[in-house]
Amino acid sequence: MMRKFLSVIFIFSTTVLSFSIASASTTLEYDGECNYSDAKKVSKYSGNCHFNWGVGMLPDPDNASYERYIMTYPNGNEVWIYINANGSASVNDITAVSLEAEKGYRKVMTTEGEVFEFTQGSE
């Protein structure tokens, strides 16, 4: 009976601990600059956006952390951008890469050629 009880406790504590590690995150709300260019390199928006920035940890040791930006344009449209520690990224579930940007900014380009540049969140 004791062995069964300890097994249940072990499974429960392992599950809770794994969930806690995988869901660890920090968030910050701020307003900042954002620029969007379409695949033809035509600027479609340049101005202010509202951001919800967060960081989190992934179970993959080669790509252990990420930044998440929810960028909201003045008209209410949202763009969800994830930038992984290894430089890979996604924009609204479209594969992207993180590009070099000026200090204080982030820049990503989708595989479709769209470019998003915006004020960086901070810890």
Q: 78-90: b or e for each residue (b if 16 or more CB lie within 10 Å)?
A: ebebbbbbeeebb
Report whether pLDDT(4) > 80. no
On whether the pTM is more than 0.85, the answer is no
Predicted confidence (pLDDT) per residue in 24-71, tens digit: 557 899 999 999 999 999 999 999 999 999 988 877 666 678 999 999
**CA 104/CA 116 separation, integer angstroms:** 14
Please report the pLDDT score of residue 27 as a whole number: 84
Report whether pLDDT(77) > 90. yes
Domains of the chain: 25-119 (2.30.29)
Q: Which residues, in sequence order, are CB contacts of 68 under 8 Å at separation 6+?
A: 53, 54, 55, 56, 80, 81, 82
Please report the pLDDT score of residue 18 as a whole number: 40
Residues 88/80, Cβ–Cβ less than 8 Å: no
